[in-house]
Amino acid sequence: MSLFKQLLIAICLFLVVAFAGSFVVSLESSRAQYVNQLQSHAQDAATSLALSLTANIDDPAMVELMVTSIFDSGYYASIRVVDLATNAVIVERSAEPDNQGVPQWFINAIGLAPGGGEGIVSRGWQQTARVEVVSHPMFALAKLWQSALGSLGWLVLCGIVSALLGALLLRRQLKPLDYMVAQSQAIARREFLTLPDLPRTPELRRVVQAMNQMVDKLKALFKESSERSEKLRVESYQDSLTGLSNRRYFDMQLKAHVSNQEEHRAGHLLLLRVQDLAGLNLRLGGKRTDALLIAVAQLLLSRCEKYPKIRNLISRSRGGEFAVLAPGMAREEALALVHDLELALKTLEATGASDVSPVAHMGLAPYVPGEAPLTLLGLADQALAQAETQGEQTWSYVENGEVAPSGDDQHTWHRVLDHALTHGGFELFFQPVVGTRDITKVLHYKALSRLVNEQDEAVPAGRFLPWIERFGWSSRLDLLMLHQVLKHLQTHDQSLALNLSAATLSDPAALNQVFDALRQHPKLAGRLTIEIGEEQLPEQAVLEKLTRRLQAAGFTLALQRFGGRFSMIGNLAHLGLAYLKIDGSYIRAIDEESHKRLFIEAVQRAAHSIDLPLIAERVETEGEHLVIAEMGIEGVQGQLFGDPAPWK
């Protein structure tokens, strides 16, 4: 029972006891007064009647007339005139008056006894008769009953008003306690709230101040951990001159995107080399050369801005060499990007940023998942070398026999995917996410989509997702997957996680359909987590609204492939995320590369300070698993613990 209810009940009990005591005391006092009045009334009537009868005691008719007159004029139970010599009753009148609406239980409870009185009738000096008068208490009982009803009504009214005023006062005084409860719940959701208006009550004021200090301390610790982790990430994976990622980060992403045949998609690798960097240093000086490199970096960022998926995959590999890894980019998009960059580089040259012509050359090479990273780099270097020797054209495209032209398949993919989305031609595959120390404990299953082709083969998502995005059907696939997952959840008691695309998040109509589907299954709340890729994150206000809507429906939100934008973890702290999945590029070979371990340890400290669970993605070796377990990361996901497969 809450403190508010306890105090309110205590106040009500106190009022009941106080009012009941006051009522009983008042009633008893009135009762005693009425007893005295009844006795006095009876005695006065007996004395008066005895004096009146003194002169008429020998006249029976007059005696009866006078007794009747007295009896009819008051509230008497009986009046008797008794002969003292023979003890015989000369005259007697008695009656039982009506209850006058007084309930019998009240009469019994009050126990008001009739009042009696006696008077002596004399004949000269001789006593001849005795007058006995008994007053009936019904009149007094009726007055007591009316008085009791009035007092009870007044006390009840006062009690109700006092209880309401007490409740309002308590609610106002205890409001800081409610806010402190909200503070505690917010801390559990990784939010940091403070109460700016301190209560006037000294005790509550001290408690609120202590809570605010604790929240400020937690916020400061988390901010410090976040800043330390971000500083370490910048030092380890960011080029200090251009702000792009460095060669170490590029190698990580190249291995993660090219080698993984299961989930990742085909794409292209673009290499850009600024010509004669050493000569530029001699002719232009260090500052102008650095300005040229920065300009080239900004040019790459601006021209690749229309492709959000490659925003974090632009790197300065060494000196004047830059690399752009573009997973999922089709041949036509890659060629359009190269043409755009060529025009921009010529504009840069025309501004006088360089005394050489051209400023840079580019080499473009396609790849398929599962290809060796060194093979791809060799192919891109070959294209770059060819571009440097072919004259006016500053770029070259080289492909090997493993990469088929993509333009011829567009019609086929459109027909196949449209049919599959319309008739449910996708199958759910599931990959377990297990506890790091107890791999038999399944935290949840990641739901993945597989396209079933005409040969009843399951086509990995990396092959058809680029076409889904190109045709603008990502929301259709998300809604189809969501309905399949919700239906599947009703067949077992395990928890699942499902990814939503950026297209669905940015489409209000599609997002409303998602929430309509979730609200239709309230019993599944708590067993489905919606995941969003780090590269798909919307603006902060949109993300907060999405989180609130999910929480209102009973579901949770999580981030996957996290790590490239660690600086934004401060904005994520108060969203109440279910967990963070660390991008597999930071996990791969973590047992051999110490810089990854240092970074993940910093991330773990920041996440632990706000009680945010971490899950490592794409764990593939025992060495990686041992390091992750030693670091205290809660969960792991990868081929080491199970490949995606149909539900067993």
Q: What are the structure tokens assigned to 606, written together? A: 């920041």
Sequence ranges of the domains in the chain:
3-160, 247-397, 407-637
Give CATH superfamily name and number for 407-637. EAL domain (3.20.20.450)
Q: Measured between alpha carbons, how far is 367 from 379 in angstroms, rounded to an integer? A: 9
465, 496 in Cβ contact below 8 A? no
299, 344 in Cβ contact below 8 A? yes
Give the CB-side neighbour count of residue 230, counting CA atoms within 13 A.
12
Q: Measured between alpha carbons, how far is 565 from 546 in angstroms, rounded to an integer? A: 20
Q: Report which of 337, 335, 339, 325 is spatially closest to residue 407, judged by C-alpha positions.
A: 335
Q: What is the pLDDT of residue 358?
A: 60
Long-range contacts of 161-168 (CB under 8 A, 24+ apart): 162/11, 162/15, 163/8, 163/11, 163/12, 163/15, 166/8, 166/11, 166/12, 167/8
What architecture is domain 3-160? 2-Layer Sandwich (3.30)
Q: What are the structure tokens assigned to 153, written together? A: 């009504």
Q: Measured between alpha carbons, how far is 108 from 319 in angstroms, rounded to an integer? A: 109
CA 523 from chain center: how many Å?
17
Q: Measured between alpha carbons, how far is 31 from 141 in angstroms, rounded to an integer? A: 9
Q: Report which of 366, 350, 364, 345 is spatially closest to residue 274, judged by C-alpha positions.
A: 345
Q: What is the pLDDT of residue 496?
A: 95
Q: What is the pLDDT of residue 488?
A: 94
Q: What is the pLDDT of residue 625?
A: 94
Q: What is the pLDDT of residue 634?
A: 92
| Residue environment code for 58-96, b if the CB has 16+ CB neighbours within 10 A, otherwise e | eeeeebeebbeebbeeebbbbbbbbeeeeeeebbebeee
Q: What is the pLDDT of residue 568?
A: 65
Q: Measured between alpha carbons, how far is 501 from 503 in angstroms, rounded to an integer? A: 5
Q: Report which of 341, 94, 371, 96 is spatially closest to residue 255, judged by C-alpha positions.
A: 371
430, 458 in Cβ contact below 8 A? no
Q: What is the pLDDT of residue 562?
A: 84
**Amino acid, single-letter form, for residue 20:** A
Q: Measured between alpha carbons, how far is 626 from 641 in angstroms, rounded to an integer? A: 13
Class of domain 247-397: alpha beta
Q: Which residues contact 533 (CB under 8 A, 6 or more apart)?
A: 499, 502, 559, 560, 561
Q: What is the pLDDT of residue 404?
A: 40
Q: Report which of 332, 292, 296 is spatially closest to residue 314, judged by C-alpha positions.
A: 296
pLDDT mean by block of 10 residues, the chain; 648 residues: 70 77 76 75 80 77 81 76 81 75 76 78 80 79 80 80 79 72 67 68 74 77 73 81 88 81 74 84 82 89 83 85 89 89 80 58 87 87 85 80 48 88 91 93 93 83 82 92 94 93 89 93 90 82 86 89 69 77 88 84 79 89 92 91 89
Same fold: 3-160 with 407-637: no
Cα angle 329-330-334, degrees, rounded to a multiple of 5:
75
Q: What is the pLDDT of residue 138?
A: 75
